[in-house]
Structure 1
Amino acid sequence: MPQRRAITGRSQEPRARFAEELRLLRTRKGLSLRALADAVGWDASLFGKMEKGQTLGGPEVVMALDTFYATIDKLLTLWELAMADPPQFRERYRLYMRLEAEAVSMWHYAASNLPGVLQTPQYAEELLRQGGLSGAELDAQVAARMGRRELLLADGAPQFRTILSETVLRSPLHDSSAWRAQLSHLLVMEECSNIVIQVLPLSAGLHGLTNTDAMFLRDAGGRTVAWIETGYSGELVQESAAVEALQLRYDRVRDLALSPGESREFIKRMLEETPCESST
Protein backbone atom coordinates (compact mmCIF):
# COMPACT_ATOMS: atom_id res chain seq x y z
CA MET A 1 0.00 0.00 0.00
CA PRO A 2 1.48 3.41 -0.95
CA GLN A 3 2.35 5.74 1.90
CA ARG A 4 -0.36 8.32 2.60
CA ARG A 5 0.58 11.98 2.45
CA ALA A 6 0.60 13.90 5.73
CA ILE A 7 -2.12 16.43 6.41
CA THR A 8 -0.02 19.55 6.63
CA GLY A 9 -0.01 23.00 5.12
CA ARG A 10 2.65 21.75 2.67
CA SER A 11 0.63 18.86 1.25
CA GLN A 12 0.72 18.81 -2.53
CA GLU A 13 -2.51 19.17 -4.51
CA PRO A 14 -4.73 19.63 -1.43
CA ARG A 15 -7.94 19.68 -3.48
CA ALA A 16 -7.13 16.30 -5.05
CA ARG A 17 -6.07 14.96 -1.65
CA PHE A 18 -9.42 15.98 -0.17
CA ALA A 19 -11.38 14.28 -2.97
CA GLU A 20 -9.19 11.17 -2.65
CA GLU A 21 -9.94 10.87 1.05
CA LEU A 22 -13.67 11.24 0.49
CA ARG A 23 -13.67 8.42 -2.07
CA LEU A 24 -11.53 6.20 0.16
CA LEU A 25 -13.73 6.60 3.23
CA ARG A 26 -16.92 5.87 1.31
CA THR A 27 -15.56 2.81 -0.51
CA ARG A 28 -14.19 1.40 2.75
CA LYS A 29 -17.72 1.45 4.13
CA GLY A 30 -19.04 -0.14 0.95
CA LEU A 31 -21.54 2.66 0.36
CA SER A 32 -22.97 4.03 -2.85
CA LEU A 33 -23.31 7.78 -3.22
CA ARG A 34 -27.07 7.42 -2.76
CA ALA A 35 -26.64 5.38 0.42
CA LEU A 36 -24.23 7.99 1.78
CA ALA A 37 -26.71 10.76 0.95
CA ASP A 38 -29.50 8.89 2.75
CA ALA A 39 -27.29 8.44 5.83
CA VAL A 40 -25.87 11.97 6.04
CA GLY A 41 -28.74 14.03 4.63
CA TRP A 42 -27.33 15.86 1.59
CA ASP A 43 -27.89 15.21 -2.11
CA ALA A 44 -25.93 12.36 -3.72
CA SER A 45 -24.92 14.60 -6.65
CA LEU A 46 -23.12 16.94 -4.25
CA PHE A 47 -21.04 14.09 -2.82
CA GLY A 48 -20.28 12.93 -6.36
CA LYS A 49 -18.98 16.37 -7.32
CA MET A 50 -16.91 16.56 -4.14
CA GLU A 51 -15.30 13.17 -4.82
CA LYS A 52 -14.46 14.26 -8.37
CA GLY A 53 -12.90 17.49 -7.15
CA GLN A 54 -15.52 19.60 -8.95
CA THR A 55 -16.56 21.32 -5.73
CA LEU A 56 -15.31 21.43 -2.15
CA GLY A 57 -18.72 21.74 -0.52
CA GLY A 58 -19.32 23.81 2.59
CA PRO A 59 -18.07 23.38 6.16
CA GLU A 60 -21.42 22.03 7.38
CA VAL A 61 -21.28 19.17 4.84
CA VAL A 62 -17.68 18.35 5.70
CA MET A 63 -18.33 18.38 9.44
CA ALA A 64 -21.30 16.05 8.92
CA LEU A 65 -19.04 13.67 7.00
CA ASP A 66 -16.39 13.83 9.75
CA THR A 67 -19.09 12.86 12.24
CA PHE A 68 -20.46 10.06 10.07
CA TYR A 69 -17.03 8.55 9.38
CA ALA A 70 -15.80 9.22 12.97
CA THR A 71 -12.73 10.98 11.56
CA ILE A 72 -12.83 13.81 14.14
CA ASP A 73 -11.56 16.90 12.22
CA LYS A 74 -9.56 15.13 9.52
CA LEU A 75 -11.83 15.99 6.60
CA LEU A 76 -12.37 19.53 7.82
CA THR A 77 -8.59 20.02 8.03
CA LEU A 78 -8.17 18.78 4.46
CA TRP A 79 -11.05 20.99 3.36
CA GLU A 80 -9.42 24.08 4.89
CA LEU A 81 -6.17 23.29 3.07
CA ALA A 82 -8.07 22.93 -0.21
CA MET A 83 -9.94 26.21 0.19
CA ALA A 84 -8.64 29.11 -1.82
CA ASP A 85 -9.09 31.28 1.28
CA PRO A 86 -8.42 29.03 4.31
CA PRO A 87 -8.92 31.77 6.94
CA GLN A 88 -12.58 31.98 5.90
CA PHE A 89 -13.56 29.28 8.40
CA ARG A 90 -11.13 28.99 11.29
CA GLU A 91 -11.34 27.81 14.86
CA ARG A 92 -14.09 30.18 15.96
CA TYR A 93 -16.52 28.99 13.31
CA ARG A 94 -15.59 25.34 13.78
CA LEU A 95 -16.26 25.63 17.51
CA TYR A 96 -19.51 27.46 16.88
CA MET A 97 -20.75 24.66 14.62
CA ARG A 98 -20.01 22.09 17.31
CA LEU A 99 -21.80 24.15 19.94
CA GLU A 100 -24.80 24.62 17.66
CA ALA A 101 -25.07 20.87 17.11
CA GLU A 102 -25.09 20.30 20.91
CA ALA A 103 -27.41 23.18 21.85
CA VAL A 104 -30.66 22.46 23.70
CA SER A 105 -31.97 25.98 23.07
CA MET A 106 -31.12 28.73 20.58
CA TRP A 107 -32.34 32.29 20.45
CA HIS A 108 -31.57 34.61 17.61
CA TYR A 109 -31.93 38.18 16.38
CA ALA A 110 -31.88 39.02 12.67
CA ALA A 111 -30.95 42.57 11.75
CA SER A 112 -30.81 42.13 7.98
CA ASN A 113 -31.26 38.53 6.73
CA LEU A 114 -33.34 35.53 7.70
CA PRO A 115 -31.47 32.92 9.76
CA GLY A 116 -30.09 30.09 7.64
CA VAL A 117 -32.21 27.46 9.39
CA LEU A 118 -35.39 29.21 8.17
CA GLN A 119 -34.32 29.96 4.60
CA THR A 120 -35.78 28.37 1.48
CA PRO A 121 -33.35 27.26 -1.26
CA GLN A 122 -34.32 30.26 -3.40
CA TYR A 123 -33.63 32.72 -0.58
CA ALA A 124 -30.29 31.10 0.24
CA GLU A 125 -29.27 31.08 -3.42
CA GLU A 126 -30.04 34.76 -4.01
CA LEU A 127 -28.35 35.81 -0.77
CA LEU A 128 -25.21 33.77 -1.44
CA ARG A 129 -25.11 34.88 -5.07
CA GLN A 130 -25.16 38.50 -3.95
CA GLY A 131 -22.21 37.60 -1.74
CA GLY A 132 -20.18 36.62 -4.80
CA LEU A 133 -20.67 32.86 -5.06
CA SER A 134 -21.53 31.15 -8.33
CA GLY A 135 -21.48 27.80 -10.10
CA ALA A 136 -20.65 24.63 -8.20
CA GLU A 137 -19.55 26.50 -5.07
CA LEU A 138 -22.90 28.26 -4.92
CA ASP A 139 -24.75 24.95 -5.33
CA ALA A 140 -22.68 23.38 -2.56
CA GLN A 141 -23.26 26.22 -0.12
CA VAL A 142 -27.02 26.21 -0.78
CA ALA A 143 -27.12 22.44 -0.24
CA ALA A 144 -25.16 22.83 3.00
CA ARG A 145 -27.51 25.50 4.26
CA MET A 146 -30.55 23.37 3.47
CA GLY A 147 -28.98 20.52 5.41
CA ARG A 148 -28.73 22.75 8.48
CA ARG A 149 -32.51 23.25 8.44
CA GLU A 150 -32.87 19.67 9.63
CA LEU A 151 -31.44 20.79 12.96
CA LEU A 152 -34.83 22.21 13.93
CA LEU A 153 -36.89 19.29 12.61
CA ALA A 154 -35.05 16.24 13.97
CA ASP A 155 -36.15 14.27 17.02
CA GLY A 156 -35.07 16.11 20.15
CA ALA A 157 -34.61 19.34 18.19
CA PRO A 158 -33.57 22.39 20.25
CA GLN A 159 -35.97 25.14 21.22
CA PHE A 160 -35.48 28.00 18.76
CA ARG A 161 -36.63 31.61 18.93
CA THR A 162 -35.86 34.25 16.34
CA ILE A 163 -36.72 37.95 16.41
CA LEU A 164 -36.83 39.33 12.88
CA SER A 165 -36.30 43.04 12.35
CA GLU A 166 -39.04 44.37 10.09
CA THR A 167 -36.20 45.30 7.74
CA VAL A 168 -35.67 41.58 7.07
CA LEU A 169 -39.26 41.21 5.93
CA ARG A 170 -39.12 44.42 3.90
CA SER A 171 -36.19 43.08 1.85
CA PRO A 172 -37.90 40.72 -0.60
CA LEU A 173 -36.38 38.44 -3.21
CA HIS A 174 -36.38 39.68 -6.80
CA ASP A 175 -38.75 36.87 -7.76
CA SER A 176 -42.04 37.60 -6.01
CA SER A 177 -43.22 33.98 -6.26
CA ALA A 178 -40.01 32.86 -4.52
CA TRP A 179 -40.58 35.53 -1.87
CA ARG A 180 -44.12 34.30 -1.33
CA ALA A 181 -42.73 30.79 -0.89
CA GLN A 182 -40.28 32.09 1.72
CA LEU A 183 -42.98 33.91 3.68
CA SER A 184 -45.19 30.81 3.53
CA HIS A 185 -42.28 28.72 4.76
CA LEU A 186 -41.94 30.97 7.81
CA LEU A 187 -45.60 30.41 8.63
CA VAL A 188 -45.20 26.65 8.30
CA MET A 189 -42.09 26.54 10.47
CA GLU A 190 -43.74 28.74 13.08
CA GLU A 191 -46.30 25.98 13.62
CA CYS A 192 -43.58 23.67 15.01
CA SER A 193 -43.80 23.43 18.78
CA ASN A 194 -40.07 24.17 19.24
CA ILE A 195 -40.00 27.29 17.02
CA VAL A 196 -41.06 30.83 17.93
CA ILE A 197 -40.90 33.70 15.42
CA GLN A 198 -41.36 37.32 16.47
CA VAL A 199 -41.19 40.52 14.44
CA LEU A 200 -39.57 43.71 15.70
CA PRO A 201 -41.41 46.61 14.01
CA LEU A 202 -39.47 49.60 12.71
CA SER A 203 -41.58 51.74 15.02
CA ALA A 204 -39.63 50.25 17.95
CA GLY A 205 -36.81 52.63 17.05
CA LEU A 206 -33.14 52.23 17.97
CA HIS A 207 -32.05 49.46 20.30
CA GLY A 208 -28.96 47.60 21.50
CA LEU A 209 -28.76 45.19 18.53
CA THR A 210 -29.64 47.58 15.72
CA ASN A 211 -26.73 46.56 13.44
CA THR A 212 -25.93 43.14 14.90
CA ASP A 213 -27.11 39.65 14.04
CA ALA A 214 -26.88 37.50 17.17
CA MET A 215 -27.29 33.83 18.03
CA PHE A 216 -27.24 32.54 21.61
CA LEU A 217 -26.66 28.84 22.23
CA ARG A 218 -27.31 27.10 25.55
CA ASP A 219 -26.03 23.57 26.17
CA ALA A 220 -27.42 20.85 28.42
CA GLY A 221 -25.24 22.08 31.29
CA GLY A 222 -26.76 25.56 31.19
CA ARG A 223 -23.72 27.31 29.65
CA THR A 224 -24.53 29.97 27.07
CA VAL A 225 -22.32 31.37 24.32
CA ALA A 226 -23.09 33.95 21.65
CA TRP A 227 -22.19 34.26 17.99
CA ILE A 228 -22.22 37.87 16.80
CA GLU A 229 -22.08 38.99 13.17
CA THR A 230 -21.55 42.57 12.07
CA GLY A 231 -20.90 43.31 8.42
CA TYR A 232 -18.24 40.94 7.09
CA SER A 233 -17.02 39.37 10.31
CA GLY A 234 -18.23 37.03 13.03
CA GLU A 235 -17.15 36.60 16.64
CA LEU A 236 -17.76 33.82 19.14
CA VAL A 237 -18.35 35.31 22.61
CA GLN A 238 -17.77 32.86 25.48
CA GLU A 239 -16.81 35.02 28.48
CA SER A 240 -19.81 34.94 30.83
CA ALA A 241 -19.98 38.67 31.63
CA ALA A 242 -19.91 39.60 27.94
CA VAL A 243 -22.57 37.00 27.12
CA GLU A 244 -24.79 38.29 29.92
CA ALA A 245 -24.46 41.86 28.66
CA LEU A 246 -25.44 40.77 25.15
CA GLN A 247 -28.32 38.71 26.50
CA LEU A 248 -29.63 41.75 28.38
CA ARG A 249 -29.69 43.64 25.07
CA TYR A 250 -31.54 40.72 23.50
CA ASP A 251 -34.12 40.61 26.30
CA ARG A 252 -34.81 44.32 25.84
CA VAL A 253 -35.28 43.79 22.09
CA ARG A 254 -37.70 40.94 22.79
CA ASP A 255 -39.70 43.28 25.04
CA LEU A 256 -40.11 45.61 22.04
CA ALA A 257 -41.12 42.87 19.58
CA LEU A 258 -44.62 41.84 18.57
CA SER A 259 -46.02 38.75 20.27
CA PRO A 260 -45.77 35.45 18.34
CA GLY A 261 -49.46 35.71 17.41
CA GLU A 262 -49.13 39.33 16.27
CA SER A 263 -46.00 38.41 14.36
CA ARG A 264 -47.80 35.63 12.53
CA GLU A 265 -50.51 38.09 11.46
CA PHE A 266 -47.82 40.54 10.35
CA ILE A 267 -46.22 37.89 8.10
CA LYS A 268 -49.64 36.91 6.75
CA ARG A 269 -50.33 40.54 5.79
CA MET A 270 -47.01 40.74 3.98
CA LEU A 271 -47.84 37.54 2.12
CA GLU A 272 -51.21 38.97 1.07
CA GLU A 273 -49.52 42.16 -0.14
CA THR A 274 -46.93 40.30 -2.26
CA PRO A 275 -47.97 39.83 -5.91
CA CYS A 276 -48.34 36.24 -7.07
CA GLU A 277 -46.17 36.81 -10.13
CA SER A 278 -43.08 38.93 -10.69
CA SER A 279 -43.65 42.08 -12.73
CA THR A 280 -41.89 42.20 -16.10
Structure 2
Amino acid sequence: MANIRDLDPSASPLDYYGSELRRLREAAHLKQAALGEIVFCTASLIGQVETARKVPTRDFSERLDAALGTDGHFSRLVGLVLRSVLPTWFQPFAEMEAQAEHISTFQCQLIYGLLQTEAYARAVLGVENPGKLDAAVAARMDRQRILARENPPVLWVVLDEAALHREIGGREVMSNQLAHLLSLQRQQWLEVQVLPFNAGQHAGMMGSFTMLRFDDDPDLHYSESYDSGHMTANPQVIKERSVGYARLQAEALSPRASAELIARVMEERYGKHPEPAGRAVA
Protein backbone atom coordinates (compact mmCIF):
# COMPACT_ATOMS: atom_id res chain seq x y z
CA MET A 1 0.00 0.00 0.00
CA ALA A 2 1.27 3.50 -0.82
CA ASN A 3 2.64 5.54 2.03
CA ILE A 4 0.21 8.45 2.35
CA ARG A 5 1.67 11.49 4.01
CA ASP A 6 -0.67 13.19 6.46
CA LEU A 7 -1.03 16.89 5.79
CA ASP A 8 -1.99 19.71 8.08
CA PRO A 9 -4.14 21.89 5.78
CA SER A 10 -3.44 24.92 7.96
CA ALA A 11 0.35 24.58 7.70
CA SER A 12 0.68 26.44 4.39
CA PRO A 13 -1.23 27.26 1.20
CA LEU A 14 0.61 24.36 -0.48
CA ASP A 15 -0.51 21.89 2.20
CA TYR A 16 -4.08 23.15 1.95
CA TYR A 17 -4.02 22.79 -1.85
CA GLY A 18 -2.73 19.22 -1.53
CA SER A 19 -5.32 18.23 1.03
CA GLU A 20 -8.10 19.73 -1.10
CA LEU A 21 -6.90 17.87 -4.17
CA ARG A 22 -6.92 14.57 -2.30
CA ARG A 23 -10.34 15.27 -0.73
CA LEU A 24 -12.02 16.26 -3.99
CA ARG A 25 -10.34 13.51 -6.02
CA GLU A 26 -11.56 10.89 -3.56
CA ALA A 27 -15.03 12.46 -3.52
CA ALA A 28 -15.07 11.99 -7.29
CA HIS A 29 -14.09 8.31 -6.80
CA LEU A 30 -10.95 8.71 -8.91
CA LYS A 31 -7.61 7.03 -8.37
CA GLN A 32 -4.51 9.17 -8.88
CA ALA A 33 -3.76 7.40 -12.17
CA ALA A 34 -7.29 7.97 -13.46
CA LEU A 35 -7.19 11.68 -12.64
CA GLY A 36 -3.73 11.91 -14.16
CA GLU A 37 -5.05 10.55 -17.44
CA ILE A 38 -7.80 13.15 -17.48
CA VAL A 39 -5.49 16.11 -16.81
CA PHE A 40 -2.63 14.74 -18.94
CA CYS A 41 -0.05 14.04 -16.24
CA THR A 42 1.31 11.07 -14.29
CA ALA A 43 -0.18 9.55 -11.17
CA SER A 44 3.14 10.35 -9.52
CA LEU A 45 2.64 14.07 -10.15
CA ILE A 46 -0.85 13.95 -8.66
CA GLY A 47 0.63 12.22 -5.61
CA GLN A 48 3.44 14.75 -5.26
CA VAL A 49 0.98 17.66 -5.32
CA GLU A 50 -1.32 15.91 -2.83
CA THR A 51 1.59 15.46 -0.42
CA ALA A 52 2.87 19.04 -0.89
CA ARG A 53 6.10 17.86 -2.48
CA LYS A 54 5.36 19.57 -5.79
CA VAL A 55 4.11 23.10 -6.43
CA PRO A 56 1.18 23.12 -8.88
CA THR A 57 1.11 25.43 -11.89
CA ARG A 58 -1.83 27.57 -12.97
CA ASP A 59 -2.36 25.44 -16.08
CA PHE A 60 -2.47 22.28 -13.95
CA SER A 61 -4.98 23.93 -11.62
CA GLU A 62 -7.26 24.96 -14.47
CA ARG A 63 -7.22 21.40 -15.78
CA LEU A 64 -8.10 20.10 -12.32
CA ASP A 65 -11.08 22.44 -12.12
CA ALA A 66 -12.31 21.20 -15.49
CA ALA A 67 -11.80 17.54 -14.58
CA LEU A 68 -13.34 17.69 -11.11
CA GLY A 69 -16.00 20.31 -11.81
CA THR A 70 -14.74 22.48 -8.96
CA ASP A 71 -15.82 25.86 -10.40
CA GLY A 72 -12.41 27.55 -10.31
CA HIS A 73 -11.53 26.35 -6.81
CA PHE A 74 -7.98 25.27 -7.65
CA SER A 75 -7.44 28.20 -10.01
CA ARG A 76 -8.12 30.51 -7.08
CA LEU A 77 -6.03 28.51 -4.64
CA VAL A 78 -2.98 28.35 -6.89
CA GLY A 79 -2.50 32.11 -6.68
CA LEU A 80 -2.04 31.82 -2.92
CA VAL A 81 0.28 28.85 -3.36
CA LEU A 82 2.50 30.58 -5.90
CA ARG A 83 2.60 33.78 -3.83
CA SER A 84 3.76 31.74 -0.82
CA VAL A 85 6.65 30.36 -2.88
CA LEU A 86 8.16 33.83 -3.20
CA PRO A 87 10.80 34.77 -0.61
CA THR A 88 9.12 35.87 2.59
CA TRP A 89 10.73 39.32 2.44
CA PHE A 90 9.48 39.80 -1.14
CA GLN A 91 5.85 38.78 -0.59
CA PRO A 92 4.62 42.18 0.76
CA PHE A 93 5.96 43.92 -2.33
CA ALA A 94 4.38 41.34 -4.68
CA GLU A 95 1.02 41.95 -2.99
CA MET A 96 1.34 45.72 -3.41
CA GLU A 97 2.60 45.35 -6.99
CA ALA A 98 -0.55 43.40 -7.86
CA GLN A 99 -2.74 46.22 -6.49
CA ALA A 100 -0.87 49.20 -7.95
CA GLU A 101 -2.43 51.39 -10.60
CA HIS A 102 0.92 52.74 -11.79
CA ILE A 103 4.34 51.06 -11.60
CA SER A 104 7.56 52.92 -12.38
CA THR A 105 10.82 51.00 -12.11
CA PHE A 106 14.51 51.48 -12.80
CA GLN A 107 16.52 48.30 -13.31
CA CYS A 108 20.30 48.52 -13.43
CA GLN A 109 21.28 44.88 -14.11
CA LEU A 110 18.34 42.71 -15.10
CA ILE A 111 15.10 42.88 -17.03
CA TYR A 112 12.22 43.67 -14.68
CA GLY A 113 10.50 40.52 -13.41
CA LEU A 114 7.15 41.39 -15.01
CA LEU A 115 8.83 41.53 -18.44
CA GLN A 116 11.02 38.43 -18.22
CA THR A 117 10.55 35.43 -20.49
CA GLU A 118 10.29 32.07 -18.76
CA ALA A 119 13.73 30.99 -20.03
CA TYR A 120 15.35 34.22 -18.83
CA ALA A 121 13.67 33.90 -15.42
CA ARG A 122 14.82 30.29 -15.17
CA ALA A 123 18.43 31.32 -15.82
CA VAL A 124 18.28 34.15 -13.26
CA LEU A 125 16.53 32.16 -10.52
CA GLY A 126 18.62 29.05 -11.11
CA VAL A 127 21.68 30.76 -9.67
CA GLU A 128 20.29 30.77 -6.13
CA ASN A 129 17.32 28.35 -6.28
CA PRO A 130 18.38 25.21 -8.17
CA GLY A 131 16.47 22.92 -5.82
CA LYS A 132 13.19 24.83 -6.09
CA LEU A 133 13.60 26.23 -9.56
CA ASP A 134 10.31 25.11 -11.11
CA ALA A 135 8.32 26.61 -8.25
CA ALA A 136 10.28 29.87 -8.32
CA VAL A 137 9.82 30.25 -12.07
CA ALA A 138 6.10 29.48 -11.83
CA ALA A 139 5.72 32.13 -9.13
CA ARG A 140 7.53 34.74 -11.20
CA MET A 141 5.46 33.98 -14.29
CA ASP A 142 2.29 34.20 -12.22
CA ARG A 143 3.20 37.75 -11.17
CA GLN A 144 2.95 38.75 -14.82
CA ARG A 145 -0.78 37.99 -14.92
CA ILE A 146 -1.50 41.55 -13.78
CA LEU A 147 -0.42 42.78 -17.23
CA ALA A 148 -3.13 40.66 -18.88
CA ARG A 149 -5.96 42.00 -16.73
CA GLU A 150 -8.84 43.88 -18.29
CA ASN A 151 -7.52 47.02 -16.56
CA PRO A 152 -3.77 46.46 -16.19
CA PRO A 153 -1.53 48.88 -14.31
CA VAL A 154 0.42 51.50 -16.19
CA LEU A 155 3.98 50.17 -16.29
CA TRP A 156 6.97 52.37 -17.13
CA VAL A 157 10.36 50.70 -17.15
CA VAL A 158 13.76 52.36 -17.45
CA LEU A 159 16.51 49.80 -18.12
CA ASP A 160 20.19 50.48 -17.87
CA GLU A 161 21.80 49.50 -21.17
CA ALA A 162 23.88 46.99 -19.20
CA ALA A 163 20.76 44.82 -18.82
CA LEU A 164 20.70 44.36 -22.60
CA HIS A 165 24.33 43.27 -22.80
CA ARG A 166 24.49 40.99 -19.76
CA GLU A 167 24.18 37.53 -21.32
CA ILE A 168 21.70 35.69 -19.12
CA GLY A 169 21.10 32.07 -20.08
CA GLY A 170 23.03 32.23 -23.35
CA ARG A 171 22.62 33.93 -26.71
CA GLU A 172 19.33 32.30 -27.66
CA VAL A 173 17.69 33.15 -24.34
CA MET A 174 18.87 36.75 -24.60
CA SER A 175 17.77 37.21 -28.20
CA ASN A 176 14.31 35.91 -27.30
CA GLN A 177 14.19 38.15 -24.24
CA LEU A 178 15.02 41.23 -26.28
CA ALA A 179 12.49 40.19 -28.91
CA HIS A 180 9.93 40.00 -26.11
CA LEU A 181 10.79 43.54 -25.03
CA LEU A 182 10.26 44.74 -28.59
CA SER A 183 6.89 42.98 -28.77
CA LEU A 184 5.76 44.95 -25.72
CA GLN A 185 5.76 48.13 -27.82
CA ARG A 186 2.25 47.10 -28.82
CA GLN A 187 0.98 47.35 -25.23
CA GLN A 188 -0.99 50.54 -24.66
CA TRP A 189 -0.17 50.87 -20.96
CA LEU A 190 3.48 49.87 -21.06
CA GLU A 191 6.62 51.77 -22.04
CA VAL A 192 10.27 50.73 -21.99
CA GLN A 193 13.13 53.21 -22.08
CA VAL A 194 16.84 52.43 -22.12
CA LEU A 195 19.35 54.53 -20.21
CA PRO A 196 22.39 54.42 -22.52
CA PHE A 197 25.98 54.01 -21.37
CA ASN A 198 26.82 57.50 -22.61
CA ALA A 199 24.41 59.02 -20.06
CA GLY A 200 27.31 58.82 -17.60
CA GLN A 201 26.48 59.40 -13.95
CA HIS A 202 22.77 59.35 -13.22
CA ALA A 203 20.09 59.33 -10.51
CA GLY A 204 19.93 55.52 -10.34
CA MET A 205 23.54 54.80 -9.48
CA MET A 206 22.58 53.60 -5.99
CA GLY A 207 20.73 50.68 -7.56
CA SER A 208 17.38 49.47 -8.84
CA PHE A 209 14.16 50.77 -7.32
CA THR A 210 10.42 50.73 -7.97
CA MET A 211 7.66 53.25 -7.30
CA LEU A 212 4.06 52.09 -6.83
CA ARG A 213 1.07 54.42 -7.09
CA PHE A 214 -2.50 53.66 -6.01
CA ASP A 215 -5.87 55.33 -6.45
CA ASP A 216 -6.65 55.77 -2.75
CA ASP A 217 -3.48 54.85 -0.87
CA PRO A 218 -0.09 56.55 -0.42
CA ASP A 219 2.65 55.95 -2.97
CA LEU A 220 5.28 53.36 -2.07
CA HIS A 221 8.99 53.17 -2.78
CA TYR A 222 10.65 49.76 -2.91
CA SER A 223 14.29 48.72 -3.07
CA GLU A 224 16.09 45.53 -2.14
CA SER A 225 19.44 44.16 -1.10
CA TYR A 226 20.76 40.61 -1.33
CA ASP A 227 18.21 38.98 0.94
CA SER A 228 15.79 41.68 2.01
CA GLY A 229 13.39 44.22 0.62
CA HIS A 230 12.54 47.67 1.95
CA MET A 231 9.22 49.37 1.27
CA THR A 232 8.31 52.81 2.53
CA ALA A 233 5.63 55.47 2.14
CA ASN A 234 7.81 58.16 3.75
CA PRO A 235 6.79 61.39 1.93
CA GLN A 236 10.36 62.69 1.75
CA VAL A 237 11.62 59.45 0.21
CA ILE A 238 8.73 59.44 -2.27
CA LYS A 239 9.48 63.05 -3.24
CA GLU A 240 13.20 62.46 -3.71
CA ARG A 241 12.82 59.23 -5.64
CA SER A 242 10.04 60.65 -7.82
CA VAL A 243 12.35 63.48 -8.86
CA GLY A 244 15.16 60.97 -9.37
CA TYR A 245 12.96 58.82 -11.58
CA ALA A 246 11.87 61.82 -13.63
CA ARG A 247 15.55 62.62 -14.21
CA LEU A 248 16.20 59.04 -15.32
CA GLN A 249 13.33 59.24 -17.79
CA ALA A 250 14.67 62.54 -19.13
CA GLU A 251 18.18 61.14 -19.59
CA ALA A 252 17.01 57.85 -21.09
CA LEU A 253 16.35 57.34 -24.79
CA SER A 254 12.79 57.83 -25.99
CA PRO A 255 10.68 54.66 -26.25
CA ARG A 256 11.17 54.65 -30.04
CA ALA A 257 14.94 55.20 -29.82
CA SER A 258 15.10 52.61 -27.03
CA ALA A 259 13.43 50.05 -29.29
CA GLU A 260 15.96 50.82 -32.00
CA LEU A 261 18.83 50.26 -29.56
CA ILE A 262 17.29 46.99 -28.31
CA ALA A 263 16.96 45.79 -31.91
CA ARG A 264 20.55 46.76 -32.66
CA VAL A 265 21.93 44.95 -29.62
CA MET A 266 19.78 41.95 -30.44
CA GLU A 267 21.23 41.76 -33.94
CA GLU A 268 24.85 42.74 -33.30
CA ARG A 269 25.45 40.97 -29.99
CA TYR A 270 23.13 37.98 -30.18
CA GLY A 271 23.00 37.45 -33.93
CA LYS A 272 19.25 37.57 -34.41
CA HIS A 273 17.51 40.06 -36.65
CA PRO A 274 14.36 41.38 -35.00
CA GLU A 275 11.00 40.94 -36.66
CA PRO A 276 9.41 44.18 -37.90
CA ALA A 277 7.16 45.54 -35.19
CA GLY A 278 5.21 48.69 -34.77
CA ARG A 279 2.82 50.20 -32.28
CA ALA A 280 -0.78 49.77 -33.25
CA VAL A 281 -2.66 52.96 -33.93
CA ALA A 282 -6.36 53.63 -33.69
TM bracket (short chain): 0.7 to 0.9
| 2:172 aligned partner, one-letter code | S
Provide the secondary structure at the position in 1 that maps to 2:253.
Answer: coil
Which residues of 2 match residues 5-44 of structure 1 at below 5 A?
7=10, 17-18=15-16, 20-23=18-21
Measure, in 2, the Cα distance between the counterparts of 1:163 and 1:197.
6
Q: Are 1:102 and 2:110 counterparts?
A: no
Larger Rg: 2
Which residues of 2 match residues 1-280 of structure 1 at below 5 A?
7=10, 17-18=15-16, 20-23=18-21, 49-56=48-55, 68-69=76-77, 88-90=87-89, 93-130=90-127, 132-135=128-131, 137-221=132-216, 223-276=218-271
Question: Which residue of 1 is the match for residue 31 of structure 2?
Answer: none
1:202 CA displacement? 1.4
Measure, in 2, the Cα distance between the counterparts of 1:170 and 1:201.
11
Change (3 A) 1:29 1:221: farther
**Structure 1 residue ranges without an equivalent (≥5):** 37-44, 59-64
Number of aligned residue pairs: give it. 246
| 1:104 aligned partner, one-letter code | E
| 2:91 aligned partner, one-letter code | R
Q: Structure 1-normalised TM-score? A: 0.72
Measure, in 2, the Cα distance between the counterparts of 1:46 and 1:195.
37
| 2:51 aligned partner, one-letter code | K
Query: What are the superposed Cα offsets for residues 212-235 of structure 1, whole Å, 9 maximum, x if unpaired?
Result: 211111112263111112344321
Are the aligned partners of 1:217 and 1:225 in contact in 2 as well (CA < 8 Å)? Answer: yes
| 2:88 aligned partner, one-letter code | F
Change (3 A) 1:55 1:67: closer
**Structure 2 residue ranges without an equivalent (≥5):** 1-6, 29-34, 58-72, 273-282
RMSD value over aligned CA atoms?
Answer: 4.0
